Amino acid sequence: MKVETPRSIAEAEAVQDELRSLLDLTGPGPLRPARVAGVDVAYDGERLAAAVAVLDGVTLELIEQVTVGGRVAFDYVPGLLAFREVPALVEALGRLSTAPDLVVCDGYGLAHPRRFGLACHLGVLTGLPTIGVGKTAFVGSYPDPAPERGSWTDLTLDGDVVGRVLRTRHGVKPVFVSVGHRVDLDTACRNVLALTPRYRLPETTRVSDRLSRTALAKNVVLD
């Protein structure tokens, strides 16, 4: 599957508004996924490497991986990150031998200016259940969650609860969880906690991050 790249910011925003109508916010989504995928993209100027790491949902061991090289086709603009990463990620996901039960994205889903962040975009294009886990604040306001692992607070935007600020490790900076496609917020957070037995970030994002950087360093084939 090839993904078209918008020529302007206005066009990109129009695409988001268009695709948003295809979003499935009907939960609950996978509570005990057998295969959980993490996706990430690493950059080096014009070059980029996208990686998909599929982990066993129970043991969190890596069971399949795919990396693809490419070139940047859309400059980074807050709110339009998906146009930078989605083409390569769709390509990488398409090369998996078996579809994952859940895809964990680096960034946001519904918690987005137009309610259509990277996780929503990737979900609609692939049809797979997706969630977004951001490392820093992007949109919305929130109270700080209690210091215990598992505690959380609502991430609110324009009067809507668009995600949760979730503490994955005691006393450590929380992560920002929001729904992507075909998964509800409760299920999304349960999965994030299952993926963080030791570190702040989900094992899926840790592994995919490492894979994408390694692929870049290996001078992957360019498109």
Feature table: binding site for Mg(2+):
40, 106
**Taking the CA of residue 129 as centre, how many other CA atoms within 13 Å lie in the half-sphere pointing to its CB?**
21
Q: Which is nearer to DNA, 41 or 103 (CB)?
A: 41
Member of 36, 41, 166, 207 binding DNA (CB under 7 A):
41
Among 28, 34, 135, 190, binds DNA (CB under 7 A): 135
Q: Are 20 and 116 within 8 A, CB to CB?
A: yes
Position 107 contacts DNA (CB under 7 A): yes
- 175-181 and 160-166 beta bridge pairing: antiparallel
Tell me the window of 18-26, 62-70, 90-98, 106-114 that interacts with DNA (CB under 7 A): 106-114
Q: How far apart are CA 90 and CA 52, in angstroms?
A: 10
Q: Which of 38, 57, 123, 134 binds DNA (CB under 7 A)?
A: 134
Q: Which of 52, 55, 82, 215 binds DNA (CB under 7 A)?
A: 82
Residue 88: both structure tokens together: 């390569």
Of 29, 30, 33, 132, the one binding DNA (CB under 7 A) is: 132
Distance of closest approach, residue 204 Cβ to DNA, in angstroms: 13
Figure out which of the listed residues 89, 162, 216, 220 binds DNA, where binding follows CB under 7 A: 216
By CB under 7 A, is residue 74 in contact with DNA? no
Assess whether the previous peptide bond of 28 is cis (omega < 30° from 0): yes
Residues 138-167 contacting DNA, CB under 7 A: 138
Q: How far is CA 20 from the centre of its chain?
A: 16
Is the separation of the CB atoms in 191 and 36 below 8 Å?
Answer: yes
Q: Say whether residue 213 binds DNA (CB under 7 A).
A: yes
3 burial via Cβ count (<10 Å: 0-12, 13-18, 19+): middle
Q: Check residue 43 for interaction with DNA (CB under 7 A).
A: yes
**CB nearer DNA, residue 98 or residue 219:** 219
Q: Are the CB atoms for 47 and 216 separated by under 8 Å? A: yes
**Residue 132 to residue 152: CA distance in whole angstroms:** 16
Query: CB under 8 Å to 167, separation ≥6 — which residues?
Result: 145, 146, 147, 148, 149, 150, 151, 152, 174
**Residue 60 interacting with DNA (CB under 7 A):** no
- Cβ 112 to DNA, closest distance in Å? 5
Q: How far is the CB of 180 from DNA (least distance, A)?
A: 10
Residues that bind DNA (CB under 7 A): 40-44, 76, 78-82, 106-108, 112, 117-119, 132, 134-138, 209, 213, 216
